[in-house]
A = this chain, B = another copy of it.
Amino acid sequence: MNISDASRDSGLPAKTIRYYEDIGLIKPRRLGNGYRDYSDDDLHKLRFLQRSRGLGFSVEDCRVLLSLYEDRNRASADVKQIAKTHLVEIERKIAELQSLQRTLSHLVDACQGDHRPHCPIINDLAG
């Protein structure tokens, strides 16, 4: 299977698939003409990467998860640890964004938003 079909199948852009090869996540075989040829196994990995990236795991986390995916003797504790750490980070980001949201929405509400220069938003930013 060539790269555009692999792209359709995995939902990843061809550019991204080549990038994943560059950084050693997958290694499809090459045909005589130099074209990449994706096996079923490669396609499984691409789909796995698409989903784990979609859940916000870093590419380096994905590399580890992929190796655990392929390791029939893995301990589920190892997977869970990565996921928990990621979850904590997501929760931290949510809290951070919610704090910004609170501040900003107060400022937006306080601003008349008319033709006049008076602006509580600017005043707040000016300190």
Contact = CB atoms under 8 A, between A and B. Distances in A.
Nearest to A113: B80
B98 A94 contact: yes
A32 interface: no
B55 A111 contact: no
Contacts of A116: 75-76
Nearest to A71: B117
Nearest to A72: B117
Could you say which interface size class chain A belongs to? Answer: 35 or more
A104 B90 contact: yes
How many copies of the chain does the oligomer comprise? 2
* Interface residues of chain A: helix, strand, loop or mixed (majority): helix
A119 interface: yes
A83 B125 CA distance: 11
A30 interface: no
A55 B94 contact: no
Interface of A: 44, 47-48, 51-52, 55-56, 65, 68-69, 71-77, 79-81, 83-84, 86-87, 90-91, 93-94, 97-98, 100-101, 103-105, 107-108, 111-119, 121-122, 124-127
